[in-house]
A and B are shown apart, each in its own frame.
Chain A
């Protein structure tokens, strides 16, 4: 609890991740340490294969580190069960996946409702919140369109609406603008910035583009499984 009060929402301590075993073993993360305070907007950058998605999966409680500690909201995530991690995701986390991962043949409204369904909210409340989230990402009037009837940018906004409809503590976005042109990318960034500033949602975003990273207040640069550069230290010191 004191960690949170002191501003630390996330703490990674000596986190490593090794894929495979024996000859084929590959260490994707080689000892990561960083803290993220509530309310930060952090960009994660780095070359392909440097471990960005791997660390995002760990932060998102989808995966556990091979060694080291990951403390989220005071919980040692590495020692939680599969279902306990699912409950953390359900109640505190929002994901925006690179490939959107919307349910096909399912309307935007139903897609956005999905996380609320697992929270057991009644239908009326689900609808109201899903509509509000879609309105927030500027998709009023598109509620009943299926992903196939939406543009890439619109699909990405539906994915963001789904991630924020639960008012998550932490929003994780893996290359949210990767599939979009720079104009749509700028729209998405404006949206994330707004969510961070006005709704107090902590945002962690992977991106390859420096002009997208510029929207963030801090940049973590990954190199070959370690954090090579962290802009917060520049400002702090």
Chain B
């Protein structure tokens, strides 16, 4: 009986294909919006996760200045010094390795090529803490750091700009009056979660940076500390211990608030994905309204259909159709209609989300569950909004229905 009802329903839809397509537009848009949103959201989340992982897992970052909350500036706070790094390593055993960075934007040149790039002074632990690997050459070692040698490691973007086809190893690039020998190239990481090009950097020993690149006023300063937490150790605990240590080292009285902030990568990831979640929820609400409108559209067209086909219903009842069979017929028709809309919506969503993810440079992460769910929801809309018209059809009096003009 279900099978027959389905065949009948499909025949009826085929007969009025245009009308059916217009009727289900709301569902199509709703389903397409939901799936597209989720696909984009998944892509964004996957990208954020990948970027956070590329920062290095178990990373704790320490910055001078109060934690920024919306609309509130960080305010001035004293910078860190190099001995803060050693102090943390000594005092917090859960920290496996630690590094610090200081940076300054500089124009670089190699022969006739020029570029403007942040030059970062850091320590030899930088690749280990920041989870960087090298495609060519090597990173600078402790000896070079202590001696303050003018050696540097290029990010992939800088290498591309300055050394289009050739190997940069052994060549000297110039910035702020320093001739710096290139000894390595970092493996590319792409954009950061905040949209910066992480490969647009030049790294050099902190000592050399402080002596030759940093401004006169900030000679001893270290801007950011990065700590890598030992596997299996709690990053929250490290955050707490480092906070206490730094308060002590910065001579903060108990009633003073922190003039630095300590956070781990998980917090960064959470902050970023909460934005994504809000957006997804918002557009999800739009999609839900659209589905509701779609449902009402189906109810409307089914009511019209019941009126149009009153004589047919009368005939069916007269030749012995049970109430439940007529109900089922119209219910199946409504469900077929809404499922048809759901399928169109899924198709549209596939096209839209593929286009959008590639336009927005996001990974295309297909979630089969959400497609299945969207399909089930659209079918349920058919049941929900098809019930009233179907019951009206089933309850018709056969004699009156046959007499209907």
Contact = CB atoms under 8 A, between A and B. Distances in A.
A139 B274 CA distance: 71
A63 B402 CA distance: 13
B143 interface: no
Contacts of B15: 105
Interface stretch (A3-11, A95-103, A149-157, A212-220): A95-103
A105 B15 CA distance: 9
Nearest to A114: B319
A91 interface: yes
B320 A118 contact: yes
A89 B315 contact: no
A87 B402 contact: no
Interface residues of B, number: 20
B318 A114 contact: no
B196 interface: no
Contacts of A83: 322-324
B330 to A, nearest CB: 15
Given A103-B312, A103-B315, A115 B398 contact: no
B402 A86 contact: no
Interface string B294-336: 0000000000000000011011111111111100000000000
Contact of A91 (B320, B398, B402): B320
A86 B322 contact: yes
A65 to B, nearest CB: 14
B252 interface: no
A119 B398 CA distance: 19
A99 B322 CA distance: 22
Q: How large is the interface on A (under 10, 10 to 19, 20 to 34, 35 or more residues)?
A: 20 to 34
A82 B319 contact: no
Contacts of A82: 323
Contacts of A93: 320
Contacts of B1: 120
B20 to A, nearest CB: 15
A57 B319 contact: no
A117 interface: yes
A88 B320 CA distance: 7
Given A62-B399, A89-B318, A101-B402, A118 B312 contact: no
B contact face: mostly helix, strand, loop, or mixed: helix
A106 B179 CA distance: 89
Contacts of A119: 320
A127 to B, nearest CB: 14
Nearest to B319: A115
B35 to A, nearest CB: 35
Interface in A102-126: 102-105, 114-115, 117-120
A86 B326 CA distance: 12
B267 interface: no
Contact of B317 (A86, A91, A103): A86
A156 to B, nearest CB: 15
Nearest to A95: B318
Nearest to B325: A118
Given A62-B399, A117-B4, A120-B1, A101 B315 contact: yes
A162 interface: yes
Contacts of B323: 82-83, 86
Q: Which 5 A-B pairs have the closest CB atoms?
A: A90-B320, A89-B320, A115-B319, A101-B315, A62-B398
Interface of A: 57, 60, 62-63, 82-83, 86-91, 93, 95, 97, 99, 101-105, 114-115, 117-120, 162
Given A60-B318, A89-B319, 16 more contacts: A86-B317, A86-B321, A89-B318, A90-B321, A93-B320, A95-B318, A97-B315, A97-B402, A101-B311, A101-B315, A101-B402, A102-B315, A103-B312, A115-B319, A115-B320, A119-B320
Interface of B: 1, 4, 15, 311-312, 314-325, 398-399, 402
17 contacts: A62-B318, A83-B322, A86-B320, A87-B320, A89-B320, A90-B320, A91-B320, A97-B315, A97-B402, A99-B402, A103-B312, A105-B15, A114-B316, A114-B319, A115-B319, A115-B320, A118-B325
